[in-house]
Amino acid sequence: MTVTVNCKQFQLLERFTVIIYNKTSNLDSVNEARRELFSQKNRPMEKIPPTQEALLQHTLRAVYQAGIWATSDQCEQKPPTPEGFGWTLESATKTWRPVWSNLPVASQACSELVKCGCKSATCGGTMLMQEGAVEVHRTMQLPM
């Protein structure tokens, strides 16, 4: 089975994951739910759903494991390589390690984020990105 973010099964799983974190949500996307729960409901990061990319990698590992279990009654199993199923082969040590996400690390992908102290109606306490000596007002964007 090939799992992608566009396949029906993954979209159902994504909706289920949203409901686990927020029973009253009408959202279908975990990324949208992350944004809503973090920014509007002021939840801490550990109580919001994973990114779509992280959920996909976890799903791929689960599909791989289920495929092995489905053939556990066979004398000689010939499982496919874990590559592409949420695992990657570390060349230096020749060991498999899980892929948690293909997104860049937030600390490397974003400038420093600090809460804005201004009270203007247009800002409303959005996040302030400090880029050197220049301060730029932007709304906070969670990694997708």
**Domain extents for the chain?**
1-73+81-86, 104-144
pLDDT in tens, 53-112: 999 999 999 999 998 898 888 888 888 888 888 888 898 999 999 888 877 766 565 555
- Cα-based distances in Å from 101 to 5, 69, 88, 106: 13, 25, 11, 11
User: Higher-confidence residue: 44 or 10?
Assistant: 10
More confident residue, 12 or 77: 12
Q: Please tell me the predicted confidence (pLDDT) of residue 136.
A: 42
Q: Give the tens place of pLDDT for each residue, 15-53.
A: 999 999 999 999 999 999 999 998 887 788 888 899 999
CA distance 82 to 60: 9
